[in-house]
């Protein structure tokens, strides 16, 4: 309904908008809009009356809640100290023909160039030997042979120490009658002059980062069991669900599945690791995907209680072996194109 000049006068003169609305028999919204338009036209000075709605009337079911206090948090709450950075690898399965040694050495070059000094290995450093599973793909079948193969072939970079766990599969096939493969591998490595390979546990190991305050941050390195799940996050989710409330690590690094994933669940940063092994015949038969790559883990903590306040996981994924052939100088020299047969 159009506004008359008389109504405009009442609107301008009324002591308040609700009073104007009452006198004019119009809604509060209509009066507010009209006053705004008159101000735009310059009919009413801006100081005439603030365009503030009257508070909504109280209704029976309203309750008086205390207004939450608002204050600014200090940035240090989430951004204290330096980044803590670690290299992550897993499932290198050395001594089998599907190993990806060129890529494993490549990622250690990256770790070195990034100034990383500590690398965690989440199990299956070697392929082990169980004829019905990998009998056609390992080229060193004995325990000593695979240990020496690690000593000779596993990346060694100045200033980098690799802390590894063992899985209950592959190298774990030898883990019986009290024999401890991880400790033995470390013994052979030391004997052969490699102090950079340190065994820290079978199936799982907790790494404690202790801060000057006495608080700790726990990284659990784990080689879980079971086959790969239908979704890349599923195994990690079930693992985090299964942790007791007081036993949750801050960060969980899982090997075994050869599939990359990161998620934050129940305040646990869960990292599932790709491996350094191509898909084997066994894996193909089981329809298991095999991703190749490693990761750099960087995080910050609240030093007062060790909680992780920022976390960044950078996966470095490698493509199929064929993609890197041009970069292998030996291949480039020795091979001239691919084999063509003319029947």
Residues making contact with Fe ion (CB under 5 A) = 91, 124
Contacts of residue 91, Cβ cutoff 8 Å, sequence gap at least 6: 122, 123, 124, 255, 256, 258, 273, 274, 275, 276, 277
Q: How far is the CB of 137 from Fe ion (least distance, A)?
A: 13
CA 123 to CA 237: how far, in whole Å?
A: 20
Least distance (Å) between residue 161 CB and Fe ion: 22
Least distance between Fe ion and beta carbon 287 (Å): 16
**Minimal distance in Å, beta carbon 235 to Fe ion?**
13
Listing DSSP states for 9-78 in one string gives HHHHHSSSHHHHHHHHT--HHHHHHHHHHHHHHTSS-TTS----PPPPPP-TT---PPPPP--PPPGGGT
Q: Minimal CA–CA distance to 142: which of 152, 128, 124, 123?
A: 128
Q: Which is nearer to Fe ion, 124 or 302 (CB)?
A: 124
Cα 201 to Cα 128, 166, 172, 285, distances in angstroms:
17, 7, 12, 30
Residue 315 CB, nearest distance to Fe ion (Å)? 17
Q: What stretch of H or E contains 327? A: none
Residue among 91 and 278 whose Cβ is closer to Fe ion: 91
Q: By C-beta, is 23 or 141 nearer to Fe ion?
A: 141
Q: Which is nearer to Fe ion, 217 or 277 (CB)?
A: 277
Question: What is the DSSP-derived secondary structure letter of residue 99?
Answer: B
339's tokens: 């084999």
Q: Is the dihedral of CA 315, 321, 325, 330 positive or negative?
A: positive
Nearer to Fe ion (CB atom), residue 20 or residue 203: 203
Least distance from C-beta 84 to Fe ion, angstroms? 27
Please name the residue that has the structure tokens 């075994």.
Answer: 256
Residue with smaller CB distance to Fe ion, 26 or 93: 93
């Amino acid at each position: 309904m159009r506004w008359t000049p008389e109504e405009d006068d009442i609107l301008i003169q009324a002591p308040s908008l609700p009073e104007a609305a009452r006198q004019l028999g119009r809604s509060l919204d209509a009066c507010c809009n009209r006053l705004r338009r008159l101000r735009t036209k310059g009919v009413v000075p801006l100081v005439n009356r603030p365009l503030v709605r009257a508070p909504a009337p109280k209704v029976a079911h309203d309750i008086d809640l205390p207004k939450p206090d608002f204050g600014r948090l200090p940035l240090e709450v989430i951004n204290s100290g330096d980044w803590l950075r670690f290299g992550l690898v897993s499932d290198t399965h050395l001594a089998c023909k599907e190993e990806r040694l060129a890529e494993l050495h490549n990622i250690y070059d990256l770790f070195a160039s990034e100034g990383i000094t500590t690398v965690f290995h989440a199990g299956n450093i070697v392929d082990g030997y169980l004829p019905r599973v990998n009998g056609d793909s390992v080229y060193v079948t004995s325990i000593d042979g695979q240990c020496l193969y690690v000593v000779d072939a596993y990346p060694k970079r100045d200033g980098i120490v690799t802390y590894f766990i063992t899985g209950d599969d592959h190298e774990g096939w030898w883990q019986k009658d009290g024999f401890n493969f991880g400790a033995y591998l470390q013994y052979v490595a030391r004997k052969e002059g490699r102090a950079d390979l340190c065994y820290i546990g079978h199936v799982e190991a907790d790494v404690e980062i202790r801060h000057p305050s006495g608080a700790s941050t726990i990284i659990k390195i784990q080689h879980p069991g079971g086959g790969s799940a239908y979704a890349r996050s599923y195994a990690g989710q079930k693992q985090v669900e299964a942790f007791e409330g007081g036993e949750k690590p801050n960060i969980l690094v899982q090997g075994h599945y050869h599939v990359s994933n990161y998620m934050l669940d129940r305040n646990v940063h869960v990292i599932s690791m790709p491996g350094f092994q191509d898909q084997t015949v066994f894996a193909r038969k089981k329809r298991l995907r095999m991703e190749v790559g490693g990761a750099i883990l960087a995080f910050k903590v609240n030093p007062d209680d060790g909680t992780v306040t920022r976390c960044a996981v950078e996966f470095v994924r490698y493509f199929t072996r064929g993609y890197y052939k041009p970069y292998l100088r030996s291949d480039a020299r020795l091979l001239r194109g691919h084999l063509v047969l003319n029947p």
